[in-house]
Structure formats: structure tokens, C-alpha cells
Amino acid sequence: MRVTMNTMYERIKNDLFRLTEKLDKYNAQISSGKIYQTPSDAPVKLTHALGIRNTISDLDQYKRNITYAKGWLSVTENVMISIEDRLQRAKELALQGANDTQNGDTRRAIATEVKTILEEVVSLGNTKFGKRFVFAGTKTQGFKEDEMPFQMDNSGNVTYHGNTEDIELNISPGNKQKINLDGKTSIMDSNTFKALKDLYDSLMANSQPNIENAIEKLDKSLIYVSNQVAQLGAMANSIDVKEELNETSHIANKEILSNIEDADMIEAITTLNATQTAYQAALGAASKVMKVTLADYL
């Protein structure tokens, strides 16, 4: 086979180009830690990696939703426990007011604290998480300037202006979690406000029988509110389970993505060193060939 100088030069150029590409490839792998830099480097692996990345993105969103849900539930639980505590205090006052040693003046003095408790419970019902009312159902915003979910008139009657719809968040694949207690179901239906108002009215009227009736109503309200707190605990436990499963899935998918994308650093460094040696040798050989001209033979 007849080999011309042009053929030799072309082969040298192609060999140096191939080695340069290989140097760039493994240098990029070492620099980035990834086995591919462009889709054409590993199209099948890239497609698989994109699917895994989408899954991880979804899991990250679930994690953010879980964090928000846990915050919402924590605030809700604290409020319900505070209402339970206020009811317990009202019962203590009611028992005190029902004592035969009390008279009209002392009972009216007790009624003053009961009214304060009623106002506190109304305020607790209007608690916000961030800028959203916790007990307004899905109507967490959009109230008029002088309006809130729970409002009490001058007679001590409380009305509810939220709705009874559930707030749900996606916290795992195909799973929505309720995170709220609406004000009607959790507070209004407990008759907490009515029990407190009846106690206040009974104390102001100096009516021992009515005070005793109010104590029974307070007991029922306490049981109801306690059950709401237990429900919140069950919701929180369910979210904790989903959080643990999501975290396990997140770690597993991260490992899979690492196996797909991450370069074998030892192999990449070894190959880079070998390629550098070959490149230097090729450059040395090429420089010697390039020096040969017709003048060398004259």
C-alpha cells in the first residue's frame, strides 16, 4: 500500500484529535463528577436519570408540603389544648360559683373571669398560621377588615363565618392528607361558646341550679374538645409515617441517580493519565515526522 506524506499527516491529525477528545471527556468527568456532559454522551442513561430526577423533585415537593402540614397541625393542636385548658378553668370557676357559700356579688365577680375566658376562646378560634386563619375551613383568607371566622356580639353570642371544607395537601404519591379542623366542627359543635355563655349568665343571675347545669355542659364540651385533640394526634401520626416513607424513597432514588450519573473517579483518573501519556507520545512522534522534508535527503 502506497502511503503518502499527506496520508500520514491526516492520520496523525485524526489520532491527535481522538486523543484530545478523550482527554476532554475524562477531564470533564473528573471536574463535574458526572459521566456525561451532553445528551449524546449517554442518551439511555440520561433518559433514565431524567425520570429519577422528576421523582426526586416530586418527593422534594411532598417534603415541603409535609413541613407545612406539620406546622399547621402543631398550631391547631396548641389552640385546641389551650381551649381545653380554658374550659377546665371555667369548670373550676363554675364549681366555685356553685358553692352554697357564694352570694350574688361573689358570683358576679367570678362571672367577670368567665367572660374573659369566653373572649380568649374566641381569640384562639381566630388564630392564624402565617396569614391564614387556621379554623376557617378553606376560607383561610378574604375576610373583610372588620370580620373574622369567629365573632362575638355584645350579648356574648358567637357566630362562625368560615366554612366546613377540608384543606388537603399531597404528601406522598397518590395520597392527600387532611390537615385542618374547621371551626364549626371542632369548636362550634362542641358548644364551648354556649357553655361558657350559659355559665356567665347563670353567675350574673346568681342562679345556683343554672350554674350546676352549666357545669354539665362544660363537661360535655371538654370531652368533645379532647376528642378533637386526639383526632389531631392521629393526623400528625399519619403524616409522620408518610414523611418517613418519603425520606426512605428520597434516599433510594438519590442512590440510583448517583449510580447512573456519577463518574467512577478512580477509573476516570487512571484513564486520563493513560490518555495523557499516549497524547504526549503521539505529539513526540508527530513532531519527528513533521521535521522530515525532501531537503533531508538531498
Q: Specify the higher pLDDT residue, 2 or 180.
A: 180
Instruction: Kindly tell me if the per-residue pLDDT of 83 is higher than 90.
Output: yes
Residue 213 lies in a domain: yes
Q: Are strands 150-152 and 132-133 parallel, antiparallel or unpaired?
A: unpaired
Mean pLDDT of 284-293: 60
Query: Does residue 272 share a domain with residue 215?
Result: no
Query: Does residue 144 share a domain with residue 114?
Result: yes
Q: The whole model's pTM is what?
A: 0.75
Residue 185 lies in a domain: yes
- Quick one: pLDDT band at residue 113, thresholds 50, 70, 90? very high
pLDDT of residue 294: 44
List Cβ<8 Å contacts ≥24 apart for 94-100: 94/199, 94/211, 94/214, 94/215, 94/218, 95/215, 97/199, 97/202, 97/203, 97/211, 98/208, 98/211, 98/212, 98/215, 100/208
Residue 112 lies in a domain: yes
Segment 178-219, tens digit of pLDDT:
999 999 999 999 999 999 999 999 999 999 999 999 999 999
Query: Does residue 290 share a domain with residue 208?
Result: no
Query: Does residue 276 share a domain with residue 242?
Result: no
- Quick one: pLDDT band at residue 10, thresholds 50, 70, 90? low
Query: Does residue 294 share a domain with residue 148?
Result: no
Q: What would the DSSP string read from start to end of the chain?
A: ----HHHHHHHHHHHHHHHHHHHHHHHHHHHHSBS-SSGGGSHHHHHHHHHHHHHHHHHHHHHHHHHHHHHHHHHHHHHHHHHHHHHHHHHHHHHHHTSTT--HHHHHHHHHHHHHHHHHHHHHHT-EETTEETTSTT--S---TT--SEEE-TTS-EEE-S--PPPEEEEETTEEEE----HHHHTGGGTHHHHHHHHHHHHHTT-HHHHHHHHHHHHHHHHHHHHHHHHHHHHHHHHHHHHHHHHHHHHHHHHHHHHHHB--HHHHHHHHHHHHHHHHHHHHHHHHHHH--GGGG-
Between the alpha carbon of residue 29 and those of residues 23, 179, 263, 278, the distances in Å are 10, 46, 6, 19
- Number of other residues whose CB lies within 10 A of the CB of residue 46: 17
How many domains does the chain fold into?
A: 2
- Expressed as residue numbers, the domain containing 270 is 265-298
Residue 225 near residue 240 (C-beta atoms within 8 A): no
Residue 170 lies in a domain: no
Q: Specify the higher pLDDT residue, 118 or 283.
A: 118
Which CATH number covers residue 156? 1.20.1330.10
Q: Specify the higher pLDDT residue, 1 or 225.
A: 225
Helix axes of 5-32 and 265-291: crossing angle, nearest 10 degrees: 160
pLDDT of residue 297: 42
Segment 230-257, tens digit of pLDDT:
999 999 999 999 999 999 888 888 777 6
Residue 50 near residue 39 (C-beta atoms within 8 A): no
Query: Grid coordinates in use for 254?
Result: 438519590
Instruction: Kindly tell me if the per-residue pLDDT of 84 is higher than 90.
Output: yes
pLDDT of residue 118: 97
Residue 144 near residue 136 (C-beta atoms within 8 A): no
Instruction: Give the C-alpha separation, 178 to 172, whole Å.
Output: 13
Query: Does residue 143 share a domain with residue 80?
Result: yes
Query: Does residue 287 share a domain with residue 231?
Result: no
Residue 9 lies in a domain: no
Residue 246 lies in a domain: yes
Query: Does residue 128 share a domain with residue 54?
Result: yes
Residue 39 lies in a domain: no
Query: Does residue 140 share a domain with residue 243?
Result: yes
Segment 24-61, tens digit of pLDDT:
555 555 555 565 555 555 566 667 777 878 888 999 99
Query: Does residue 189 share a domain with residue 292?
Result: no
